A and B are shown apart, each in its own frame.
Chain A
């Protein structure tokens, strides 16, 4: 972070993610958002710390829990909300929903409903960059659960072997659905696995947006200059359940969530900016209000947007074998 403005921008993005997720949860309960809905509440510092280290033309692959990535990379709140609402104006024209936000114009190559599936896809985008002789970098977001998928290991090997401009960005939120990371990972840190593939790996405090940002800057510099991939593990925590239809904290240890909320990424960063004299309480209130206003406009856009036209969809897919449907 070079300036106070950079810090405020980061905080603004974190507000926008948090408010978006809080509102999405309410709208889900109202029946306006469908499916499962995986919320990013508590993990905001990861997406923001990473994406503010990227250029607009850098690529990223996202996950099933991808709203934060899209907002941090510069996504439009209205098109995001419209996608959650299943509307034609959404990022994926209502074909994908919450888990499948595609916005190639900001480098977002899609969320993914399959844990670990985005990792080789990101590896392919990095291959394409190297193939064209470009200097973009690719960030592959994945969770602690995906670190145990074969795709992670296959991709890490290939990316390191061919020195691809890729950053493996593990968001360790401590749970894969309901399974604690300690019950699923044979080593204390996902970052340790980098050694097996001859690339740098570091574990950072994923609730500290500046720690994430600085680690991302190091990895981006390495990738952009042709030195190959890096693995960053951000230790963070999701306050919510896996998704709206799997929301059960019975098996979480008592006090765990409270201890993470004590280190809430937004609270901590607000305090840091205020203590450093880089922001005033009034500025923060103003930013929050503007974020709420932007979100209200996004929601209004989504509400007013039309659903996709089934007949147009059928016409778009002439091999749809529609005569067998009815």
Chain B
């Protein structure tokens, strides 16, 4: 099968959906003639014209709100937020408007809106260009949240997102744009809400998404040489979450580790652990863990940024420790009961 980059996969999804549906248009900074700072819209201005490739002033609140209004009025906007960090200036339109108007109107209006943005750290851009904000959008009811890690998923999920009648937050990663993967020529969709097992294993379930999935897979490959087989699950969508897939894997392995780029406190990893504990408690043989970014605004200097992020070796070490873990509390409980009987 042919291989294309994540960027080209996104471009193809946008090309196909704009070609298929005349109500689909894109809006965002520098996406007009220039083709977007991430070059995803390269060539599209020439094909679709300025009304459908609307480059904007630096006015996130204004153009996200414009997209909400256009969606209510019958179009299907795809907004690009250059860095997800910049969405903070538009949060009223994201949280109070896009996410809520469908419900608040009793269904009188719908908001078929996609907001795309790249997030993540590691590019030495300091704290205002290094965040992973997925938990914010998962937490606020009203958005679906999609976070593709491969070119195949990027294309198939973006097409599904554009066709969805609810607002979708579509989170990309700048380090994934250049990565290549197999993408069929023929049209396909990846359904929102379905995860995938990236690597099968029997010793531990590791859940991860986006760029950090690559670190997890690299660690898993290393550990296989030591005889530890990690099962790696990529949920691909965070809202709604494919809990069935994750829980089924934990029932098989008895152990759950979530690895993410985002900070851990009140994060998606914390949420996944809560859900697995509530739904598959009896299957858990070791304390679940979440590895993720340090709870500090991301520093600029390379050694400082690196110390804030989970590295491949950290993942491998955590997996080794978790796989070695033997439950002691159950044994204590039994002996306590035995003492009670003898007295």
Contacts and interface: CB of A to CB of B under 8 A. Distances in A.
B240 interface: yes
B210 to A, nearest CB: 22
Contacts of B73: 59, 109, 124-125, 128-129
Interface stretch (B93-101, B178-186, B227-235, B327-335): B93-101
A201 interface: no
A130 B52 CA distance: 11
Interface string A107-120: 00110111001011
Nearest to B240: A319
Contacts of A157: 57, 59, 62
A122 interface: yes
B105 A124 contact: no
A131 B51 contact: yes
B69 A124 contact: yes
Contacts of A102: 101, 104-106, 108-109
A124 B72 contact: yes
A125 B57 CA distance: 18
A96 B104 contact: yes
Given A124-B71, A127-B66, A92 B108 contact: yes
A102 B57 CA distance: 30
A148 to B, nearest CB: 14
Interface string A306-326: 000000000001011000000
A125 B105 contact: no
B87 to A, nearest CB: 14
A319 B92 CA distance: 22
B69 A120 contact: yes
Contact of A104 (B56, B92, B109): B109
B283 interface: no
A121 B69 contact: yes
A121 B72 contact: yes
Contact of A154 (B62, B75, B97, B141): B62
Contacts of B70: 124-125, 127-128, 131
Contacts of A94: 106
Contact of A120 (B52, B65, B105): B65
A93 B64 contact: no
Given A128-B75, A154-B62, A110 B109 contact: yes
Contacts of B52: 131
Interface string A31-50: 00000000000000000000
Nearest to B103: A95
Given A90-B106, A96-B104, A114-B97, A121 B61 contact: no
A129 B75 CA distance: 10
Contact of B65 (A95, A151, A319): A151
B67 interface: yes
B73 to A, nearest CB: 4
B92 A117 contact: yes
B69 A154 contact: no
Nearest to A122: B69
Interface centre among B65, B69, B107, B109 (most CB of A within 10 A): B69
A169 interface: no
A73 interface: no
Nearest to A324: B278
Interface residues of B, number: 38
B62 A155 contact: yes
Interface in A215-236: none
B212 interface: no
Interface string B211-248: 00000000000000000000000000001100000000
Contacts of B240: 319
Contact of B97 (A93, A121, A126): A121
A150 B64 CA distance: 13
A131 B52 CA distance: 8
B302 interface: no
A155 B56 CA distance: 11
B65 A119 contact: yes
Interface in B47-91: 51-52, 54, 56-57, 59, 61-75, 77
Contacts of A158: 56-57, 59, 62-63, 66
B104 A120 contact: no
Contacts of B61: 120, 150-151, 154
Given A121-B69, A124-B73, A151 B105 contact: no
B25 interface: yes
B70 to A, nearest CB: 4
Given A131-B25, A319-B239, A155 B108 contact: no
A164 to B, nearest CB: 9
B196 to A, nearest CB: 20
Nearest to B102: A95
A94 B105 CA distance: 9
Interface of A: 59, 61, 90-96, 100, 102-104, 109-110, 112-114, 117, 119-132, 150-151, 154-155, 157-158, 161, 317, 319-320
Given A102-B106, A131-B75, 12 more contacts: A92-B104, A92-B108, A93-B106, A100-B104, A110-B101, A120-B63, A124-B68, A125-B72, A128-B75, A131-B25, A151-B92, A154-B62
21 contacts: A90-B106, A100-B105, A102-B101, A110-B105, A121-B69, A121-B97, A123-B69, A124-B65, A124-B68, A124-B71, A124-B72, A125-B70, A126-B69, A127-B66, A128-B69, A131-B51, A131-B75, A150-B61, A151-B61, A151-B92, A154-B59
A-B complex: 10 closest residue pairs judged by Cβ atoms: A124-B69, A120-B65, A154-B62, A93-B106, A121-B69, A102-B105, A154-B59, A128-B73, A124-B66, A124-B70
